[in-house]
Structure 1
Amino acid sequence: MFKHYKNGIAILILLFLLSVVLIACNSDTDEAESEEPDNTEETEDPVEEETDDGAEEEEEEPASDEPQSGGTLTGAMDTAPAGVFNPIFYEEAYEDNILAFTHESLLSQNENLGFEANLAKDWTINDDNTEITLTLEEGVTWHDGEPFTAEDVVYTYKAMASPGYVEAGGVRTEYVVRLVGYEAFNSGETDEFEGVVVEDDYTVTFKYTEPNVTILKDVAFPIIPEHIFGDVPVAEIPSHPATLNAGEVIGTGPFVFSEMLEREQYVLTKNADYWKAEPYLDQIVWRIVDQSVMLGLLENGEIDFIADPNGVPAADYETVAALDHIEIIEQTDFGYQLMGFKTNHRTDADVESGTIEPDNWVPNEDMSEQLVRQAFAYAIDRQAIVDNLLYGHGSVINAPIAQQFWAYDESAVTAYEYDPEKANSLLDEAGYVDTNDDGLRETPDGEEWVVNINYPTGNQLREASAPILAQFIEEVGVQVDLRQPKEMTAYVEDLTNDNTDWDIYLIGWSLGSGDPDPSGLWKSEAAYNFGRWNNPESDQLMLEAMQAPEAFDQDYRAEKYSEWQSVFSEDLPALLLYAQNKIYGFNERLNGVAPMPYGFINDPHLWWVSE
């Protein structure tokens, strides 16, 4: 099975597999980390009826296949949310597990990724796709009882367009940069923002400088309340109590974020006044537990479901599938794991000011060498990781576009199949050779060469992959410093602030489902472009793929994205490791589950439990 590897790599994989077996065997004895907690109308309560002789019949139990009100559902996450529960500022999928229940967008998506009405019940787009006017649902209220209106929509987009938003940590400017007046408003030249306009209490118009190919995606962003944040400076929103504290986070969604025992438990309580229909469940509780104990908790009923962002570990698939009371749904992930290269670093001054200015970046001398990045790609057997760590529940991908999108083009990219001889040749060509016969390569200047690898805790597969990746790179004569993993929140902070000695970083992305446009992650100025990749040809192709009128032709966009994927694959700012299949496991007592291609949480007000 491992005959083409050197012994070190085989032993690493075998040790990981053995640890998984031991964890699975002992999971039922592990202690839990915490001991705590088309619209469908709610089923009416059964009523007593009189028989012909006047006697009352006993109240009948509702049929088992009919929704029942009440009950608590418990889910598990392996990593605690960072604690920013605000749609315009949060950064992690763990926080989204809270926000998906509390906040809503004007539009939602169906199983075919088409856009549908949500907080907006109707919309019209003008002939040249520069304006969209949406009619909002009336009678929707925020969790504190205040009415939801067009003012909230305008405020949300105005906040993301405001001066200081990026400097405060905001990363979602892609939703506002195309709006009329963005540059003038963002630069502080004017206090008026022309891009989003209130027509009346329940009508709002978005205006774009040019015909907008992704107009529906751009208006489908979760809305935050103007009456809570309207008088708060943008720079203070991330630290505001309504961003951080359970009981003060306000949305329009079916559940209220009501309680929190930080890093242990997060409680969502039903919003009885939810505008679609009162939720069946009373509460949904997220517990933070290590992946090693999740299976035991699912088996003994202490938790009811394991879903996003990591789902059931692939190694546990057969064990979970054998449990009579657990149901499994497996689908292709809308994202991927990657090994990124820090090709450039920001200056200290730019980090201090929160500025992302490619012209100021300082090249990372070794990782900025394209041949080195390509050599590392050939040095790593990604298929072995999929086969042996994911047990085949995933796939190797070579372009950072979700496979479900029409834009993904496997034929446009270099496969980078495992080829250590090719890796050695490319490193020699780049001038990284062993000059002192110690078995390790030196830099072209003859200096000691040490490549560091950085990764976060929380994802068991990613943690297991890190030493295997290091071993693969070492097998081609490169000295590796595999650093101690950091907790995700601290890790993302270092990654964002461009710790200047980082070379390689590991991370996973859950991609947006609205459109395949990759600029939010890979455009040079994108906040999430953590490797600080600066490639003008890449930026130009992403721009052309969005320019009207040609971009209204999907074939044209597909061609441009094929060209872009080719550029990405050749320049290789990151090596895409794999797309892991999402494996959702849930107790059969949970009913109404209907995951979308992009996530497990869908219409949770229709979830119910049968006891």
Structure 2
Amino acid sequence: MLVSFQRGVRVVVLIALLAVGPAFLGASAQDDLPEVPRERTLVTQGWDYYNQIPSADNFNPYLGALLHARNNQHYTMNESLFYYDYFTGDVIPWLATGYTYNDDFTEVTITLHEGITWSDGEALTAEDVVFTIETLKANAPDLQLSSAMNTWVASAVASDDTTIVITLTKAGPRWVVDTFATGQAARFVVLPKHIWDGQDAKTFAFFDLAKGWPVGTGPYTLVRSGEDAVIFDRRDSWWALDAGLAEALPAPERIIYVAAAAEAMPQLYISNTLDMGRSLSIGLWEGARVQNPNLITWNDSGPVWGAPDGCVYRLTFNNIRPPFDNVTIRQAIDHAIDRNEIVALAYESSTTPVVAPLSSFAGVQAYVTPLQDVIDASGVGTFDTSMTDQLMQDAGYTKNADGLWADSSGAVLQFSMTAASTDPAGPVLVQQLREAGFDVTSDVLQGAAFTDAARAGNFDLHLWVHCGSTYDPWLTLEHYHSKYSAAEGEPTNNLRAYTRYANPELDALLDTMETMVPSPNDPAYMDLVSQALAIYLRDLPDITLAEELQVIPFNTTYWTGWPSAADPYSHGFPPWDGFARVIHRLQPAQ
């Protein structure tokens, strides 16, 4: 096996990776595996960038959002109660057959399929679901989803083997969909009570291949895990076949998850080493597809290649750090930003500018269209440095001899913008702000350092994405609720809500919206959305720049049946819950 070193990062570059014989796997009890030909093997990089497989001996799904639960297990071993079709708005039952609310949305009854079995042959029942909920509540705030579960759930009871009755602490008309159907970073994974009962959920690794751990209900089982790869082989049986939910076992006989860093991705796609994985920037994508015509993505032509993902690019202010606690400063910076130039230069015209944190999913646009007057009236997104000048003067600043903004004492306003090393918008934004008189420097971080800065509030401005609005504006707007605000240095409990902005007026609107069934056809609900959006556009806790349309390559050399704009049977985002539907649809190309 040939290994290449790029900037100190170990990258597997040859198809020898896929031979999965002893030479690749090394001497271990895990290596006694049957050979599977490449054309029956699916190779994925998962989603998150790693130099080597993290936590190769820990498959606890609630320890860390960016590990196996969203990089490989959700389309191999783990299955969800429900999946969600982001294009139609349909909830797709899977482990569950359906759910019903009581009249005031404070109680929900979920019914499971009969005959669901874990990979060790034990039955999955309502007791497993209740046990999982209770385990999360008992371990708040240390486990993923535990704080939310503790906040929302008063009690959960299994009334029989297939029925769970959950009493909520308040009305939650979105709760089932948001908790059980739309997992993206964190997601609800049912735990097998017969294994987890009596374990310390905060430390239990759920890994012992000799015992068949981890177990799951999906059509694959873990057969090997190490720092170089994690391997899942297809099982001979699967409850979904017996239930009539699936017509056949998935076509891939083996799925291999490998780690890769960002700089390795283009070559791994070009060389047919990868079938799927993380997105590429527009320039790298266009270069890769020329070298490998078997690569496809959501759209079959450019410049807009990618699909909506419920996310926008944003520049976040640390709203408790002066002078960014001053809304006038935030407004001034907004008018110094040329979104059209950012889209043209940084994103190579592959997306569109936006000023509100709302995606182009059809369900969200049903709200945006009638609210366009609110957006237009705000003036947000108007690139006009004369407006910047006036606002900065209103805030007590003047330009010095060097053309830089300084306060009344003559001290120059200096700040930094934190950005990921791979973000092409960083240099463009820094240059625009400098041209408007701001003495801004770029603080380029990678990996955990970048996300840790956001979580701890250790930044002035932070350039990242904002995800949430997949079917309702509240899903994004609620990230500006003051319950997420924290003192500087104290971690926020929601990495999508790290502005540290607080406004009781907005809180009250969001709290009311949360208890209502969202609908663009409900005048009362639309009035609340309009008011909340107007406050966001007035106060600008962050600046929305453009929609994120990720270009995710799929390789048709070995596998066909990938989702696309022409065949949108599923979303095309590997880390999201529901991507199992894609794996189930794939067919061999050879």
CA contact 1:386–1:395 (8 Å) conserved in 2: yes
Does 2:584 match 1:605?
A: yes
Larger radius of gyration: 1
> How many Å apart are 1:99 and its aligned residue?
3.8
> How many Å apart are 1:161 and its aligned residue?
3.1
Matches of 1:86 and 1:147, distance apart in 2: 20
Using a 3 Å threshold, how does the CA distance of structure 1 residues 120 and 240 change in structure 2: closer, same or farther? same
Using a 3 Å threshold, how does the CA distance of structure 1 residues 396 and 550 change in structure 2: closer, same or farther? closer
**Which residue of the other structure, out of 274, 279, 284, is the alignment partner of 1:303?**
274
3-state DSSP of counterpart to 2:135: helix
> How many Å apart are 1:562 and its aligned residue?
2.4
Using a 3 Å threshold, how does the CA distance of structure 1 residues 510 and 267 change in structure 2: closer, same or farther? farther
Matches of 1:249 and 1:485, distance apart in 2: 34
Using a 3 Å threshold, how does the CA distance of structure 1 residues 420 and 100 change in structure 2: closer, same or farther? farther
Does 2:99 match 1:123?
A: yes
> How many Å apart are 1:564 and its aligned residue?
1.3
> How many Å apart are 1:105 and its aligned residue?
2.1
* Alignment size in residue pairs: 503
Q: What's the counterpart of residue 159 of structure 2?
A: 199
**Which residue of the other structure, out of 379, 395, 400, is the alignment partner of 2:357?**
400
Using a 3 Å threshold, how does the CA distance of structure 1 residues 254 and 378 change in structure 2: closer, same or farther? farther
**Cα shift readout 1:10-68 (whole Å, capped 9, x = no counterpart):** xxxxxxxxxxxxxxxxx9xx99445535xxxxxxxxxxxxxxxxxxxxxxxxxxxxxx9
Q: What's the counterpart of residue 64 of structure 1?
A: none
Percent of counterpart pairs with the same letter? 21
Does 2:49 match 1:79?
A: yes
Matches of 2:196 and 2:429, distance apart in 1: 45
Q: What's the counterpart of residue 377 of structure 1?
A: 334
Query: What letter matches 2:482 in structure 1?
Result: S
Matches of 2:120 and 2:468, distance apart in 1: 31
Structure 2, unpaired ranges of 5+: 1-5, 19-36, 182-187, 242-248, 300-306, 485-492
Matches of 1:227 and 1:253, distance apart in 2: 17
Q: What's the counterpart of residue 96 of structure 1?
A: 70
Matches of 2:237 and 2:522, distance apart in 1: 41
Q: What's the counterpart of residue 478 of structure 1?
A: 438
Using a 3 Å threshold, how does the CA distance of structure 1 residues 248 and 470 change in structure 2: closer, same or farther? farther
Does 2:387 match 1:422?
A: yes
Q: Structure 1 length normalisation: TM-score?
A: 0.73
**Which residue of the other structure, out of 454, 465, 475, is the alignment partner of 1:508?**
465
Does 2:445 match 1:492?
A: no
Matches of 1:165 and 1:273, distance apart in 2: 36
Query: What letter matches 1:253 in structure 2?
Result: G
**Which residue of the other structure, out of 113, 123, 142, is the alignment partner of 1:147?**
123
Using a 3 Å threshold, how does the CA distance of structure 1 residues 391 and 484 change in structure 2: closer, same or farther? closer
CA contact 2:312–2:465 (8 Å) conserved in 1: yes
> How many Å apart are 1:591 and its aligned residue?
2.3
CA contact 1:210–1:548 (8 Å) conserved in 2: no
**Which residue of the other structure, out of 167, 190, 194, is the alignment partner of 1:224?**
190
Using a 3 Å threshold, how does the CA distance of structure 1 residues 260 and 395 change in structure 2: closer, same or farther? farther
Query: What letter matches 2:537 in structure 1?
Result: S
CA contact 1:545–1:556 (8 Å) conserved in 2: no
Matches of 1:120 and 1:151, distance apart in 2: 13
CA contact 2:151–2:169 (8 Å) conserved in 1: no
CA contact 2:111–2:162 (8 Å) conserved in 1: yes
Q: What's the counterpart of residue 333 of structure 1?
A: 309
> How many Å apart are 1:249 and its aligned residue?
4.5
3-state DSSP of counterpart to 1:581: strand
Matches within 5 A, 1:88-487: 88-92=62-66, 96-101=70-75, 102-110=77-85, 111-162=87-138, 165-166=140-141, 168=142, 170=144, 173-174=147-148, 177-179=151-153, 181=154, 194=155, 196-218=156-178, 220=180, 222-225=188-191, 226-233=193-200, 236=202, 239-242=203-206, 248-262=213-227, 265-277=229-241, 278-306=249-277, 308=278, 311-322=279-290, 323-330=292-299, 331-344=307-320, 364-404=321-361, 405=364, 406-408=366-368, 409-413=371-375, 414=378, 415-435=380-400, 437-444=401-408, 446-457=410-421, 460=422, 462=423, 464-486=424-446
CA contact 2:48–2:66 (8 Å) conserved in 1: no
> How many Å apart are 1:248 and its aligned residue?
4.7
3-state DSSP of counterpart to 1:584: coil
> How many Å apart are 1:342 and its aligned residue?
0.9
Matches of 2:385 and 2:392, distance apart in 1: 11
Matches of 2:208 and 2:357, distance apart in 1: 32
**Which residue of the other structure, out of 520, 523, 534, is the alignment partner of 2:481?**
523
Matches of 2:372 and 2:81, distance apart in 1: 34
Does 2:561 match 1:586?
A: no
CA contact 1:329–1:583 (8 Å) conserved in 2: yes
3-state DSSP of counterpart to 2:206: helix
Using a 3 Å threshold, how does the CA distance of structure 1 residues 255 and 541 change in structure 2: closer, same or farther? farther
**Which residue of the other structure, out of 544, 557, 564, is the alignment partner of 1:576?**
544
> How many Å apart are 1:446 and its aligned residue?
4.0
